[in-house]
């Protein structure tokens, strides 16, 4: 299977490169960033040994579509998408927090709740809730951005301000933007018969001091979705919700004895399983965007990306 696991480009005017868990970001002269979405799969903050065909294209195309669908309410870094796996935009100084917002008690919040905690990132969670119940109103539960290989950590607004990670003035903008984006994302999801359960947003500051949305938005890697149809009935019966997110990968890993903890080994993913993951990502794309997924030519991913980006930069 031809997948994009890592890149080693040398674009015109290139100054540096940063390799994250899934994306590789090339900084060029004139404060331009070239962000390449690889096919790497990360779960529990661990990158899996094998890639997922078309995953990078799927994430990049969802994220860029959602950026365009929200640019009227929140400014973003995006300038162009010269290749299915690539976004080009304005270089920013990233804030060292991820703005996680939760409309429902699922995933990490549910695990903490089951462990008896009623406070998440300094935000109280009501008594008497069951997994996947809707919160009275969405809660913001930030996480500190981990250095490569480390786990992101929950942090309260109070700690962010006390430690000077973000100024009070800037944090208020991040909060306002987070709520506006989640509201819009909820509306977009509802049109597709989906519920936006929780998601995370990342922001940066441009050279002229403007706060903008960066990285990915409303993708299955950064967000959790439920199918709206049957949600109430499943909750009433205490059944698991039908999900659209990479939670299915996490659950497969947990069932195979892996949660990213010390001493645990990543289970072997067969080619058959990887194909099912790829197909699930395509299903996610089509459900989230309402568009048919068109597979790009992956016979030589590196050459294709280099040619498309170089042509764009020459303009």
On average, the pLDDT of the chain sits at 93
Q: 230 and 135 in one domain?
A: yes
Taking CA atoms, 132 is separated from 111, 112, 245, 278, in Å, by 11, 13, 14, 26
Residues 288, 169, single domain; the answer is no
Among all chains, which residue has been given the structure tokens 């947003």?
A: 201
- Higher-scoring residue by pLDDT: 152, 301: 301
Assigned token pair, 181: 């984006």
Domain of 148, CATH number, reads 3.30.470.20
Residue with the two structure tokens 């195979």 = 256
Q: What is the pLDDT of residue 250?
A: 85
In angstroms, the CA 82 to CA 71 distance is 19
Q: Tokens 């909820």 label which residue?
A: 186
One domain for residues 84 and 112: no
Q: Is 277 helix (H, G, I), strand (E, B) or coil?
A: helix
Can you give the residue range of the structural domain that contains 103?
94-244
Residue 297 has pLDDT above 60, yes or no: yes
What is the reported pLDDT for 46? 87
Q: Do both 205 and 113 map to the same domain?
A: yes
Under a CB-based contact definition with an 8 Å cutoff, are residues 25 and 17 in contact? yes
* pTM given for the model: 0.89
Q: 285 is written with which tokens?
A: 């794309």
CB proximity list for 68: less than 8 A, separation 6 or greater: 78
Q: For the residues 211-215, what does the mean pLDDT come to?
A: 95
Nearest of 218, 217, 208, 7 to residue 91 by alpha carbon? 208
Tell me the pLDDT band of 147, cut-offs 50, 70 and 90: low
Buried b (16+ CB within 10 A) or exposed e, 265-292: ebeebeeeebeebbebbbebbebbbeee
pLDDT for the residue 296: 96
**Do 112 and 35 reside in the same domain of the chain?**
no
- Strands 14-19 and 46-47 turn out to be unpaired
CB atoms within 10 A of CB 4: 23
Asked if residue 99 and residue 27 are part of one domain, the reply reads no
Q: What is the pLDDT of residue 209?
A: 94
Burial of 299 (0-12, 13-18, 19+ CB in 10 A): exposed
Residue 216, C-beta contacts closer than 8 angstroms, at least 6 positions apart: 23, 37, 59, 62, 63, 222
User: Do 168 and 180 lie in a common domain?
Assistant: yes
* pLDDT tens, residue by residue, 181-201: 999 999 999 999 999 999 999
Say if residue 127 is in the same domain as residue 220: yes
> For 97-126, what is the mean pLDDT?
96
Range 69-96 average pLDDT: 96
Same structural domain for residues 167 and 156? yes
The two three-digit tokens of residue 283, written as one number: 């299903």
126 shares its domain with 214: yes
Residue 118's pLDDT band (cuts 50, 70, 90): very high
> Are residues 80 and 99 located together in one domain of the fold?
no
Mean of pLDDT values over 248-263: 89
pLDDT tens-digit readout, 15-59: 999 998 899 999 999 899 999 999 999 888 888 999 999 999 999
Q: DSSP assignment of 105-152, as one string?
A: --HHHHHHHHTT--EETTEE--TT--TTPEEEEEEE--EEPPPTTSPP
Residue that wins the pLDDT comparison between 156 and 46: 156
In 3D space, the residue among 32, 66, 39, 71 whose CA is nearest the CA of residue 55 turns out to be 39
Tell me whether residue 278 is in a domain.
yes
Domains contained in the chain, number: 2
In this structure, what CATH number is given to the domain that contains residue 277? 3.30.200.20
Does 79 lie in the same domain as 186?
no
């Amino acid at each position: 299977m031809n997948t994009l696991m890592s890149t080693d480009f040398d674009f015109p005017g290139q100054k540096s490169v940063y390799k994250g868990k899934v994306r590789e970001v090339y900084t060029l002269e004139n404060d331009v960033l070239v962000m390449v979405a690889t096919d790497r799969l990360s779960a529990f903050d661990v990158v899996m040994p094998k890639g997922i065909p078309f995953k990078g294209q799927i994430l990049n195309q969802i994220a860029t579509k959602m950026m365009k669908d929200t640019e009227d309410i929140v400014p973003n870094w995006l300038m162009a998408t010269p290749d299915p796996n690539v976004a080009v935009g304005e270089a920013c100084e990233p804030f060292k927090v991820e703005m996680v917002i939760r409309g429902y008690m699922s995933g990490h919040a549910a695990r903490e709740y089951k462990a008896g905690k009623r406070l998440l990132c300094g935000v109280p969670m009501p008594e008497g809730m069951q997994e996947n119940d809707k919160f009275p109103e969405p809660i913001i539960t930030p996480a500190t951005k981990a250095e490569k290989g480390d786990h992101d950590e929950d942090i309260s607004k109070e700690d962010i301000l006390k430690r000077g990670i973000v100024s009070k003035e800037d944090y208020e903008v991040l909060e306002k933007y987070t709520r506006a984006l989640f509201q819009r994302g909820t509306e977009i999801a509802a049109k597709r018969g989906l519920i936006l359960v929780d998601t995370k947003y990342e922001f940066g500051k441009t050279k002229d001091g403007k706060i903008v949305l960066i990285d990915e938005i409303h993708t299955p890697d950064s967000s959790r979705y439920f199918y709206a149809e049957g949600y109430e009935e499943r909750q009433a019966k205490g059944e698991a919700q039908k999900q659209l997110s990479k939670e299915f990968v996490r659950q497969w890993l947990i069932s195979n004895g892996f949660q990213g903890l010390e001493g645990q080994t990543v289970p072997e993913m067969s080619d058959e399983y990887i194909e099912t993951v790829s197909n699930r990502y395509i299903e996610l794309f089509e459900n989230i965007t309402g568009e048919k997924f068109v597979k790009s030519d992956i016979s030589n991913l590196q050459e294709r990306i280099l040619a498309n980006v170089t042509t764009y930069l020459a303009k």
